[in-house]
Amino acid sequence: MDKTPGVSHLATTMAAVCAVGGLAGFAMKKSVPSLVGGLVTGAAFGASAYLISQGGDKTRTGFGVATATSVALSVGMVPRFRKTGKVMPAGALIGLGAISALYHAYKFNEWS
């Protein structure tokens, strides 16, 4: 397939959501795990968006990275959701991660 940077929009959005969420968690609750987790997942999504936008074999790799990051995000938030029972932020991130994982896995297979 040709270079199609438009398909990296979800990964770019997830990068921003995770990074801003981590910063917000730190700003409001002084939560270092939220800061580190948000910045690390944001960086992983950012890297995947970059790879996706490069086209060729890198696009498939980018979708793989985004899929793995999405799954890790969703699975990582389950214990937090069980502990707090709150939809925000854990429940929302589980849902966003699941949607992102499904989309990126579909695209990964499409680029195979």
Nearest to 108 by CA among 60, 66, 72: 60
Would you write out the chain's pLDDT as a tens digit for each of its 112 residues? 455 557 899 999 999 999 999 999 999 999 999 999 999 999 999 999 999 999 889 999 999 999 999 999 999 999 999 999 999 999 999 999 999 999 999 999 998 8
Sorted by where each starts, the structural domains of the chain and their CATH numbers stand as 5-110 (1.20.1440)
Contact by Cβ (8 Å): 81, 90: yes
Residue 52's nearest CA partner among 67, 42, 73 is 67
Q: Which amino acid is at 90?
A: A
